[in-house]
Amino acid sequence: MKVLKQKKITMFYQPNKLIVQLVFIIGFILLLSACDGTPSGVLSQKHMTEVLIDMHKTDAYLAQKGLNYQKFSLKAPYYNYILKKHGISKAEFDSSLVWYTKNPRQFEEVYDNVIIKLTAFQKEIKKGKYHPVDSLNLAKAKVSIWNKRLKYTLTGDSARTHLDFEIPNQGFMYEDVFVLKFLQRIAPEDSSKNQRIILRINYANGKIDSVYKTAYHDSLLRRYTFRFPAIRKLKIKSISGQLLGSAVYKGKLNATIDSISLYREFNSVFQDSLRKIVQKADPKNYDIVPKPIINNRNIKPSEKIRNGKMLKPQ
């Protein structure tokens, strides 16, 4: 009889034991999910890490294409896609970013993971994982278009405040990428103010796209690199710019620009098709052939001229 009662008691407590274990497991899972200390409405460290990794990959892509110099309105769709991919709004990302900047310990943990994963990603890129051999990529060409001096030294005797250059059209085309590189050193005694470096794409219809960087007179040798794509479907007139320019000049220059190079990167396979795209987008500005001069004395009022040819009335 006593044995039977013991069995009944054991059976009675068995379900309670399972419930306690289940509650413990659920509590442990919830504890793990909240262990990074992020409040409600803030992305977890794991989620924030994934978003930031995609952001940095996008930054690198835009820089490689030269689009990092463009207006944010041109770059916004890339970042909006990232937010949509991760199922969050811009407001959620912004509020999460604000919270992390106010909590540097958690932010440091996030960026430690970002750096680890981006470093691994970079190693995979170097091994060629994301760059299979493509015949179209092999057709990409890189041609030097710089035809000026490779080095300039500006001194107190220099009678210029702007070191300008212009390279006329050498078959430049829509979607070409122009890469300008050089070394520059400006001494503190240089009297120029608001110094800058400018690269421009000049189009045949008068439009101009330009990018610029600030130059500093602190004796440091700096390497400048511009990657600037031609994104307009317009015929290009020339590439121009200033290796060094200033708003104010007080009579004393002390600057050196060295190892100058300017390259045009393009895909030779698509040149003809790109030319047709340009002409279709704005045909009135390109390849205009003068109409032949026609003696109008023998033309009847009912006859018309179109593109230099006489049309008979139908």
Q: Which domains does the chain have, with CATH numbers?
A: 36-126 (no CATH), 140-268+280-285 (2.60.120)
State the sign of the Cα–Cα–Cα–Cα dihedral 118, 122, 124, 129: positive
What is the pLDDT at residue 191?
A: 77
- State if pTM tops 0.75: no
Q: What is the mean pLDDT of residues 14-22?
A: 53
Burial of residue 38 (CB within 10 Å: 0-12, 13-18, 19+) is buried
36, 106 in Cβ contact below 8 A?
yes
| CA atoms of 228 and 211, how far apart (whole Å) | 8
| CA atoms of 48 and 42, how far apart (whole Å) | 9
Beta-carbon-side half-sphere exposure of residue 287 (alpha carbons within 13 Å): 9
143, 264 in Cβ contact below 8 A?
yes
Residues in the chain: 314
Distances (CA, A) of 17 to 6, 13, 26, 50, 221: 16, 6, 14, 39, 73
| CA atoms of 142 and 22, how far apart (whole Å) | 65
What is the pLDDT at residue 141?
A: 83
Look over the chain and give the mean of its residue pLDDT values, rounded to a whole number: 76
Q: What is the mean pLDDT of residues 82-97?
A: 91
pLDDT at 290 over 80: no
pLDDT at 1 over 60: no
Phi/psi at 263 (5° precision) = -115, 150
Q: What is the mean pLDDT of residues 5-19?
A: 50
